[in-house]
Structure 1
Amino acid sequence: MPRSDAGNPARLVAHDPSWSLIAQEELAAVAQALEDVEGGSEAVLDHIGSTSVPGLAAKPFVDLQVRIFPLPAEGALDAAFARIGYRRAHGSRPDSPGVYRDLPRGSEVVADEVWEKRLFVGRDGTTILHVRRMDSPWGRYAVWFRDWLRAHPDQRDRYEQVKRGLSAENRGKADYDDYTRGKTAFFDEVQAAFEAWGRARP
């Protein structure tokens, strides 16, 4: 780690092409673990987040997503995922964003329970697994935002500038929760654009 990033929980690294291979391997294991879970055979699995966008600097954590219906009850996934080295995550703080539920956003109005989620971390802490309901708007937004950044290099570069600024601001903090919250302003600015782009695709 560069000396200037020592003690920075929100440190960024250059895009690593191996992230996509790690995601493929991990998602294959997740799919197998879901075989005996209600709704698991119909689940949709995705590589999301900054590590899924070629050319975009990222925190070195590979984000994976499971979209499933119904959302398994509390604890129902723990044993299945423990077999492949994933443990339930509880966040750095009681209000850590995106741990137990997603912050409602976007144009869709849905019942409050639709925003609920489960979060797991891989054995070495470098893979993060987000489990959302199949009808979660966030589940779609994560994929649309990923694909929109891939298709719009100018917006990818703008996003990286925002991330680098927030990373510098969070150097020396105990966790990267404030970094995550800080990205909200960029999401608010581009939400309508990537939603429209996503809905217009076949």
Structure 2
Amino acid sequence: MSVEVVDWSPRWAVQFEEVAAVLREALAGVPSAQVEHVGSTSVPGLAAKPVLDVDVIVEPYDVSPAVRVLESVGYVHRGDLGVAGREALHAPDRPRRNVYVCTAGTTNVRNHLAVRDVLRSRADLREAYAAVKRALAADPGMDIDTYVAGKTAVLQEVLTASGAFSDAELAAIRRLNDAG
């Protein structure tokens, strides 16, 4: 099974806004909910897998209500998939996307936001990350776990550049990425 990485598309920002509008409307009764475009599709100019990543960031007491609301509009709850503080949901329609209900302030959320923000502002790291992703995806036998692990070193550079993580947090993120 191969991994597809394509040139960045301005369509992704439009698709995110369409998805976010629906999510915000559905989550109107969840006071702390914020909808964020994260992942490579959120970074103009960055090559990416053509799948949006969306974090619905909520306070701890709003995690279950947010999941229930999203289930009521067709999302399928998939559990935390091994990442504490993050509940994965399968989207009921297109565009292809990963939607996560995330607890505000967790390392996972801070990781997503820091990677996005650094890559938006640092062309050198954006280009280095794109080169690694393209090289990994060029292997026709590439699987998603090996792909994720293969990006770990450059992502550690990005996270270090953010200045937002302790050495212990960087090590925890590295272990999670290496685990696939």
TM-score higher than 0.5 here? yes
Structure 1 residue 137, shift from structure 2 partner? 2.4
Q: Contact 1:30/1:84 (CA < 8 Å) preserved in 2?
A: no
Q: Distance in 1 between matches of 2:159 and 2:67?
A: 33
Deviations 1:133-154, CA, capped at 9 Å, x for gaps: 1121221221122121111112
Q: Which has the higher contact order (CA 8 A, sep 6+)?
A: 1
- Long gaps (5+) in structure 2: 166-180
Structure 1 segment 121-136 matched on structure 2, within 5 A:
121-124=90-93, 126-136=96-106
- CA separation of 1:135 and 1:78: change in aligned 2, threshold 3 A: closer
Q: Distance in 1 between matches of 2:109 and 2:163?
A: 12
Q: Contact 1:62/1:127 (CA < 8 Å) preserved in 2?
A: yes
- CA separation of 1:78 and 1:67: change in aligned 2, threshold 3 A: closer
Q: Distance in 2 between matches of 1:56 and 1:85?
A: 30
Give the % identical residues. 33
Structure 1 segment 1-202 matched on structure 2, within 5 A:
7-8=1-2, 10-36=3-29, 40-70=30-60, 72-73=63-64, 77-89=66-78, 99-101=81-83, 115-124=84-93, 126-169=96-139, 171-173=140-142, 175-195=143-163
Q: Contact 2:12/2:52 (CA < 8 Å) preserved in 1?
A: yes
Q: Which has the higher helix share?
A: 2
What TM-score do you get using the length of structure 1 for normalisation?
0.71
What TM-score do you get using the length of structure 2 for normalisation?
0.79
Counterpart residue type for residue 51 of structure 1: T
Deviations 1:3-60, CA, capped at 9 Å, x for gaps: xxxx41x211111111111111111211222234xxx211222100000011111101
Match of 2:49, SS state, is coil
Q: Distance in 2 between matches of 1:157 and 1:151?
A: 11
Q: Contact 2:118/2:158 (CA < 8 Å) preserved in 1?
A: no
Number of matched residues? 163
- 1:109 aligned residue: none
Q: Distance in 2 between matches of 1:66 and 1:195?
A: 24
- Long gaps (5+) in structure 1: 1-6, 91-97, 102-114, 198-202
- CA separation of 1:54 and 1:121: change in aligned 2, threshold 3 A: same
Match of 1:41, SS state, is coil
Structure 1 residue 80, shift from structure 2 partner? 1.9
Counterpart residue type for residue 81 of structure 2: V
The alignment's C-alpha RMSD in Å is 2.3
